[in-house]
Amino acid sequence: MKTAVFPGSFDPVTVGHMDLIARSAGMFDRLVIGVLVNSGKSPLFSIEERVNMLACLTEKFSNVSVKSFEGLLVDFVVQERAGVIVRGLRSPQDFEYELPLAQANYKLRCNADTVFLATSPEYSYISSSGVKEIYRFGGDITSMVPKLVAEKLQDVC
């Protein structure tokens, strides 16, 4: 069974993330979404909220599960018996950032390969940090996040 981990902060999950989840769920037998517990970042949504939202949004995929993780990604990958890490690339700048991380992860655990998926062009400008900033200043983020997230954002901001 080929298992992949799709890690991230998902604060909040965007339509770009959802596109990558749908595409990678079709490529692997099992896809585990790993939501980083990152206490240093003071997230907009708590870890429970992020996990619950993602669980709700991925209900229709029978091979997708959502879990939180702390510490090193490679340890989570081993825990989940996964061989692949999935990351999206929106731009060459993303690749510059992601390549050393992928290489470090491979060095840390030689069975942890990273597979990069090119973000669909219509989503390449979308980032979680951009969504947060646009929303904070009253911009319309409804096309950038799933409906559930837009509704939840109304509650927290």
Give yes or no for a contact between 27 and 117, defined as CB atoms under 8 angstroms apart: no
- Residue 41 falls in the annotated catalytic set: yes
Rounded least distance, CB 128 to ligand PNS, Å: 7
- Residue 68 falls in the annotated catalytic set: no
Set 30, 67, 90, 109: catalytic member: 90
Rounded least distance, CB 92 to ligand PNS, Å: 16
- Residue 128 falls in the annotated catalytic set: yes
Phi/psi of residue 87, nearest 5 degrees: -135, 145
Binding residues vs ligand PNS (CB under 6 A): 7-9, 36, 72-73, 101, 104-105
Give yes or no for a contact between 35 and 66, defined as CB atoms under 8 angstroms apart: yes
Rounded least distance, CB 13 to ligand PNS, Å: 10
Q: To 10 degrees, what angle do helices 147-156 and 47-57 make?
A: 160
Q: Quickly count: other Cβ atoms within 10 Å of residue 53's Cβ.
A: 21
Output 27 or 104, the one with its CB closest to ligand PNS.
Answer: 104
Catalytic annotation, residues: 17, 41, 90, 128
